[in-house]
Amino acid sequence: MSLNLHHLRYFHAIAQAGGLVKAAERLNVSPSAVSVQLQALEAHLGHNLFERRGRQLVLTEAGQMAFERAAAIFDAADELQSTLKGLDRAKRAAVRIGALATLSRNFQIGFLKPLLRRDDVRIVLRSGSMRELMHMLDAHHIDVLLSNTLPPRDETTTWTAHVISDQPISLIGPPTAKRSKTPASLLATVPLIVPTLENHIRGEFDALAERLGVTPHIVAEVDDMALLRLLAREGLGYAIVPPIVVRDELEANLLRECGPLPGLRETFYAITPTRRFPNALLKDLMQANAPRAQPRRPRKHGG
């Protein structure tokens, strides 16, 4: 039996309205009629499309997939009625990326590089706090969350964190700065731009300063890596950041890396939900960004 588009239209209205009553008002029918159409569609597909959370109807994973396909179908119908003007989005696969608002833009671009300039792919980027993005991940509104921290885990956790990159934290100075084998020795003598206390890098940096017995001269505390980079370019002070954050400035000789700070590292994660129907584009993206194994050095044999 073929899919009944009338049922699909009712389902699409419920998902957009967030409930049966509001959908019924938009469609100018009774809530019971909407409910019957939804039940018929779920029976045909063999999956529940919504789950009830309190007074709200929330899309299940199968429901999110159905909603995306329904949106594509109705978008295509609308475009046909308007003589096929504009871009045919129904033929473009979408991948939805969420990233912490403070995350390095260079890292985000590097992660997306395998999909950039592909005519058959539509990239949707969203930024926000960890709480906001985890809610979106749980509701299947994004396919992956890019982060440099891990959200709390408990027995209800339904996500997996993939390590995409693990990088040293360096001391980054002006173009006149010199590379040093012991960059930590400079911490007591140069003005510093550091992350705020909420960032794990700051905790590791404070611990390093305590071990060295130095009182750093902090001139700015910044929670946004893009702003931290700009302040370093303006010459306000030496930045405590992963080199990827200031990659463009290092390549253009606008800044110079003094060297990695001992024991300080930044790990970048791609957090994915546990899904029965994973996005095929995301699978390719994860494979392209998987860390490459480092070749083993041959052992030296004593003579």
| Superfamily (CATH H level) for 167-265 | Periplasmic binding protein-like II (3.40.190.10)
Average pLDDT along the chain: 85
Torsion angle in degrees (nearest 10) through CA of 226, 230, 232, 233:
140
Cβ-Cβ contacts under 8 Å for 219 (sequence gap 6 or more): 191, 192, 193, 236, 237
pLDDT digits (tens, 9 = 90+) for 214-226: 999 999 999 888 8
Q: What is the pLDDT of residue 222?
A: 93
Confidence of residue 81 (pLDDT cuts 50, 70, 90): low
Question: Rounded to 5 degrees, what are φ and ψ at 121?
Answer: -125, 135
Question: In the chain, which ranges are continuous DSSP H helix?
Answer: 5-17, 20-27, 31-45, 61-81, 105-112, 130-138, 200-212, 225-233, 247-251, 280-289
Fold assignment, 91-165+268-289: D-Maltodextrin-Binding Protein; domain 2 (3.40.190)
Question: Rounded to 5 degrees, what are φ and ψ at 92?
Answer: -110, 125
pLDDT digits (tens, 9 = 90+) for 186-223: 998 999 999 999 888 899 999 999 999 999 999 999 98
CA–CA distance, 123 with 112 (Å, rounded to integer): 9
Q: Where are the domains of the chain?
A: 5-81, 91-165+268-289, 167-265
**Equal CATH topology for 91-165+268-289 and 167-265:** yes
Fold assignment, 5-81: Arc Repressor Mutant, subunit A (1.10.10)
**pTM for the full predicted model:** 0.64
Q: What is the pLDDT of residue 84?
A: 46
pLDDT at 298 > cutoff 60: no
- Written as six digits, the tokens of 268 are 């970048």
- Written as six digits, the tokens of 160 are 């997996």
pLDDT digits (tens, 9 = 90+) for 96-143: 999 998 888 889 999 999 998 888 888 999 999 898 999 888 877 888
pLDDT at 147 > cutoff 60: yes
Q: What is the pLDDT of residue 295?
A: 44
E strands within 84-225? 93-100, 121-128, 144-147, 159-173, 191-195, 217-222
Give the distance between the most distant pair of CA atoms in the chain: 89
Of 266, 242, 260, nearest in space to 148 by CA: 266
